[in-house]
Structures are given as structure tokens and as C-alpha cells.
Structure 1
Amino acid sequence: MNNDNLISLDVRPIISKGNDPFKEIMEIVNKLSNKQTLEIINSFEPIPLINKLKREGYITRTDKSDAGIVHTYFKKTTELKSSDEFSLENNNIAFDEKFKQFVGKLKQIDVRDLEMPEPMTTILEELEILPIGNALFVEHKKVPQFLLPELKERNFEILYNKKSDHHLQLLIFKA
């Protein structure tokens, strides 16, 4: 991957303020020409972002330094975008009905106070050990954009109940 026309974004300051850099990253991605390469500088490998952009026709490379700095590069290979997007819809009736179906078979976790990327990794770790026929009930502070395609890929469904602007309840279960 040639690093001519490199556009670099260090997301560590954004994350350290407790914000999600997804919007800023995607604004840059949507403006990238075929000759430009996006470099994301972070303290961890952005696996969900890598997977999302690979599905949209990007090639990637990740370099990790001994100092714990991770450089991930994205280069457009095609103009085609994936039409297979996964979105989260708020349907309180479906949430309540499904929640009732899992009473007694729920694992509950609260990830609202965790730093990125811990909410996502915690949820994925819990889903790995979730017994068949059970659901994961998650207290979260926002829609987990990077988690959604991962859940779809792993054949999970997700419903949510919005309690306030900074409090969502997620119900995650096998499709």
C-alpha cells in the first residue's frame, strides 16, 4: 500500500474525551479518492472498522509499534459500497415482548462506564459464553455502531429500548 496522498487521523484524543470517532472517520472515508490512503492512529486495532471497510471494498494494513501505537491504513479498491448494512431499530413493543420471552434466561451487564473499546469487547466476550436459548441484556449509553455488523455476522439479533439520550437497554439473542 503506497502512502502517497496519506490522510491521517489520530483518534486517541477523541476517545480519551469519551467520544466515538466513527462519525469523523466515516466523513473522511466518504471523501477519499481512489488515490488517497486513510491512516487511523489508535491504541488498539479497530477490528470492526476494518471489517466494515473491507466489506465496502477497501484493503487494509495494520502496523503495531512497541510503544503501543497502532497505525491502520485503508485504501479504496472500488467505488462499490455494501448494500448489506445492519441498522438498529427502536421498537419498544418488540423489545418488551422479546424481553418477556427471556425472563429467567437473561445475562445482564452494564457497560455505560467502560472506556472504548471495552463496551464492545465485553459484550462480545459475554456472547461467546451465553448459553443457547438465553439473551444478553445490556445497559449502554449509546447505539454501538461498530458492534452491529459484528452481531449480524455472528447471527445475533438486537433490539433496544431508549431510556434517555445517554441510556439504552439492548437485548441481544441468537437469530
Structure 2
Amino acid sequence: MIADERREKILSILKDRSVPLTGTDLSKLTGVSRQVIVQDIAILRARGLNIIATPQGYLLMKDLKNRMRKIIACCHDKMGMRKELEIIVDNGGKVIDVIVEHSLYGEIKAMLMLESRLDIDNFMRHYENSDTKPLSMLTGGVHLHTIEVPDETSYYHIVSDLEKHGYLINNR
């Protein structure tokens, strides 16, 4: 398979999925190494495709249908991380990313794409089994999340629950 055909196959695979797919899985499906997949994804991104890398794998971002995006500002210690994420997904939200403002590098953003308790369990397991720290620990716990919600009511419930637990910095 030549490179352009392989990239079209990768794009086709990602278009048909609503959940991320790992580089390893894409390499198996296309018969090339994971490193070749990383390069192919970079080329597809350079062509203007909105392919993001999440902890669960690659995802082609599609148009939002009947969903809203909001940004919330939160602050908590690392013990509050799981509860904060659960509040968001339990109220119908999807955690798109986490953003911190670093004094040297400016804005640092990491894609999360968490929309279920299973996603949170996997994310937390990965965190607990690594020697890394959450981005929010660089800023004393202060961070932003872009969240996707189906409607204003879900957003209101998320904000209310985060306020109740003392995690929310800003108001609507």
C-alpha cells in the first residue's frame, strides 16, 4: 500500500469511529509500524484535518450536532480529580481537555476526551500507574476544562455540582 492510499485508509477508519483508536491498532490495520502512523497523522493534520491525540488514541473531530461547548475554571488537589471528572460525565458532559496557564510556556492543553465512568477509570488507572503529575499541579490546582454538553440544563447541573464540592472558580 502506498503512502497516499494508507493515509486515505486511516482517514476512512477514523471517520467511521466515534471513539479513539490507538496508533498501535491503526498500525495493525494498515500493516505499518506505529511510527509510520504517527508520521501519517502529522501529514493528515498538516492538510487541515482535525485529528486529535487523546490518552485513548486518535480521534477525528466531527461537527458538533446538537451539543454545546463551554469552558469551566476549576481548582482542586489531586484527590479531587476523579470526583470532578465524575461530576461532569454523570451530568451528561464530556471532558474535552484540560488547560493550564504556565508562567514560562503560556497555555498548555492536553486532550482528555472523557465521557463515561469507564473512560475516567481507565484514565485514573493510567495516572496512578505512572510517575507523572496532572497538569493542574503546575498551577496549584487551577485549570480549565472545555466540556461538551447536550443542553443548558446539563451545563447548569455540572456547574451546580462543581460549586457544591468547592471545585468551581468562576460562575456561568
TM-score, reference length from structure 1: 0.29
Greater fraction of residues in strand: 1
Relative contact order (alpha carbons < 8 A, sep ≥ 6): 1 or 2 greater? 2
TM-score (norm 2): 0.29
